[in-house]
Amino acid sequence: MSGFEDRERAYEDKFSHDQEIEFKAAARRDTLVGMWAAEQLGMSEAEAEAYARSIFELDMERRGLEVVRDKVHADLEAASIDISKYLVEKKMTELMEEARREIKAGE
């Protein structure tokens, strides 16, 4: 029984570790998306950092890719920047991959 319990514990530990990586990567993605959008919006460095932080906080409050995508898209649209929701989501996907690489490299 001990061997089975050891394997089960190892799977649980791996799952927990993978979930932690995904959480950290999503948080990093939110920051990267915020910085990218801020650049599109022509924000200063301080404004960009505050905007990226607000994107991260929005995702922590409401959890969801769609929430972040819609917020960024609405902000771009309000500034008359013609980037579709599809392109925002595509950028978010690219930045998620970048975030995963950064988080895994920092382990």
Distance of CA 101 to the CA centre of its chain: 13
Phi/psi-derived region of residue 64, left when phi > 0, alpha when psi is between -120 and 50, beta in every other case: left
Question: How sure is the predictor about 32, in pLDDT bands with cuts at 50, 70 and 90?
Answer: very high
Whether 67 and 40 have beta carbons less than 8 Å apart is answered as no
What's the pTM?
A: 0.84
Query: What single letter denotes the amino acid at residue 40?
Result: Q
Segment 37-82, tens digit of pLDDT:
999 999 999 999 999 999 999 988 887 789 999 999 999 999 999 9
